[in-house]
Amino acid sequence: MRSLFLALGTTVALHAFAGGEPLPTGARFAGMGYAGLTMADLWSIRLNPAGLAGLDKPMAGVFYQSHWLSPDLAQQGLAVAIPLGKGTFGLAGDRFGYSLYNETKVSAAYAMRFGEGLRAAVQFDYLGVQLGENYGSASTFAAEVGVQARLTDALWIGAHVYNPTRALLGGPYDERVPTLLRAGFGYTFSKKLLMTLEAEKDIDRAERIRAGVEYHPNEVLYLRTGVSTGPVQGHFGAGVRLKQIDIDLAVSIRSQLGATPMIGLNYRFK
């Protein structure tokens, strides 16, 4: 039973550390199928840190989500981004789990823009897993690199590599954190409509496809939807912008397990 418990914990943890399902973050991205490689957003620090270079003001945010409506699978976190000249510093931390099992991820990123059509970033992560009742704990460090490039006024492409060094999660787990390769594009049809399409490949697993749409009918309201594979999930979301505050709601639906709701709150400093 001890070995089975540890194996189950390791599987969940490695998915979370990969930055993919089932433990992603960012309510805006969640409503779009987590297809946001080319977008500039505070929560780019959890998808493609190059997007931090597209921010023009300091931002801070928090989020909360309950995976498949289970209180034992809740996740919460916060992030801060500070633009300084052509670069942006970002910090983020989040926690998943409960007394018998929890995961922690803390990140520091630096993103820079080169002109108006190129952004690049490097990020370092601390990853920790702990099981209750003296079952053990483990931690490691991982790195990320990301890039965004504008091909036309309407078309951006993005790429992201998570854990290129194949970091080893030590302790009782003795497993490598997955290495992920992501690439995709975002096309802005108008000021009101954005579409994204991306592919993700874990070097040890089958590829995933993600697609999303964001519709912005007025200055206040955002409507979002998307789909992701591996396994197939539907995504829906909405956002409200009130002066310096963004409130985002999203839900991801997986037929076998149910719904995962999320709420995010961002504040833009003047």
> Could you please report the per-residue DSSP string of 102-125?
EEEEEEEEEEEE-TTSEEEEEEEE
pLDDT of 133 reads 67
The conformation of residue 214, written as its DSSP 8-state character, comes to: E
Determine the average pLDDT of the residues in 70-90. 90
Bigger pLDDT: 193 or 65? 193
137: how many CB neighbours lie within 10 A of its CB?
Answer: 15
pLDDT of 7 reads 45
Topology of domain 2-268, CATH: Porin (2.40.160)
Res. 79 pLDDT band, cuts 50 70 90: very high
Give the pair of three-digit tokens for residue 151. Answer: 């091909």
pLDDT of 266 reads 97
For residue 259, what is the enclosing H or E element? strand 258-268
Res. 8 pLDDT band, cuts 50 70 90: very low
pLDDT of 130 reads 81
Half-sphere exposure of 146 (CA within 13 A, CB side): 35
**For 145-183, what is each residue's pLDDT tens digit?**
999 999 999 999 999 999 999 888 776 666 788 889 999
pLDDT at 96 over 70: yes
pLDDT of 172 reads 62
pLDDT at 22 over 50: no
Determine the average pLDDT of the residues in 233-262. 91
Determine the average pLDDT of the residues in 22-30. 78
pLDDT of 23 reads 56
**For 108-153, what is each residue's pLDDT tens digit?**
999 999 988 999 999 999 998 887 766 778 889 999 999 999 999 9
pLDDT at 2 over 70: no
Bridge-based pairing state of the strands 87-98 and 136-150: unpaired
pLDDT of 9 reads 45
pLDDT at 4 over 50: no
